[in-house]
Amino acid sequence: KPIFARSEFSFPAAQGHARKWINDLSVAGGGPIADVGVHCIDTLRYILQDEVVRVSGRGLFDNNSGEMEAAATLTLEFSRGTLASVMVSFRAEYRTPIEVVGETGVLRADYALNVEKLINVELLRAGALVETETLSNRLAYARQVDEFAAAVEGKSEFPVPGEEGWQNQIILDAAYRSLQSGKVEEVRSVGSGQ
């Protein structure tokens, strides 16, 4: 049973970054929570096969970020009891680790969400490395576009329903409410009609 999970996504995007819009709230819509935190949240939901029911967040702001966060930490509470942390930043060096700590072992991968280099997924039990599997996300974007095109052309069903993205947005909205309120915020589900 998973007890803790963690996903991080950070990269330096201060002044002078090639994506000029990234520090403009009117264009970006949010800081690293919206830009890359959504990928951390979505990945944790997929890996855990569970839904977020509560979220709390803390953000750091600086002169470059203005009204939006430059870095943030979120705590996600999942329906089956797993506690997860998501750490995102536009100021820290590039990192995308994922880790799940369970009752009988740890599953982890540094650079898990990268598309440039190989990913070593490691299973540890009692602190000892038991197994390693090397994977690649190199073609992830191409596969996504191919699957989308095939669905649009009617050649296949789209593998991910739109409700998944909608649920991610509901979680992001709750995270931003928490940044403002300083409180734990409830996360409704897409199907709840609330």
pLDDT tens-digit readout, 176-192: 999 999 999 999 999 76
Name the β-bridge partners of 120: 134
**190 belongs to a structural domain:** no
- Residue 150 pLDDT more than 60? yes
pTM of the model: 0.91
| Residue 191, domain member (yes or no) | no
User: Within 13 Å, how many C-alpha atoms sit on residue 71's CB side?
Assistant: 14
Per-residue tokens: 64: 């470059």
Alpha-carbon span 166 to 100, nearest angstrom: 25
**193, part of any domain:** no
Least confident of 12-26, 48-62, 153-167: 12-26
**Residue 57's pLDDT band (boundaries 50, 70, 90)?**
very high
- The residue segments making up the domain with residue 72 are 2-185
Output the pLDDT for position 193: 56
Cα(31)–Cα(33) distance, rounded to whole angstroms?
A: 6
Q: Is residue 15 part of a domain?
A: yes
Backbone phi and psi for residue 66, each to the nearest 5 degrees, phi listed first? 60, -120
Residue 175 belongs to a domain: yes
The C-alpha atoms of residue 123 and residue 12 are separated, in whole angstroms, by 30
Average pLDDT over residues 46-66: 93
Least Cα distance to 63 among 100, 90, 36, 26 occurs for 90
Q: Quick check: is 73 in a domain?
A: yes
Residue 194 lies in a domain: no
Residue 172 is assigned to a structural domain of this protein = yes
What would the pLDDT profile of 125-137 be if each residue is shown by its tens digit?
Answer: 999 999 999 999 9
pLDDT in tens, 155-177: 999 888 889 999 999 999 999 99
Which ranges of 56-161 would DSSP assign to H, the alpha helix? 140-152
Given a contact cutoff of 8 angstroms between Cβ atoms, the answer to whether 8 and 87 are in contact is: yes
Structure tokens at 183: 């409180």
Among 8-17, 49-58, 148-157, name the one with the lowest average pLDDT: 8-17
146 pLDDT band, cuts 50/70/90, is very high
Q: Quote the Cα angle for 40-44-46, to 5°.
A: 120
CATH number, domain of 97, equals 3.30.360.10
* Residue bearing the bigger pLDDT, 124 or 64: 124
Total domains in the chain come to 1
Long-range residue pairs from 189-194, CB within 8 A, at least 24 positions apart, any chain? 189/51, 190/163, 190/166, 191/163
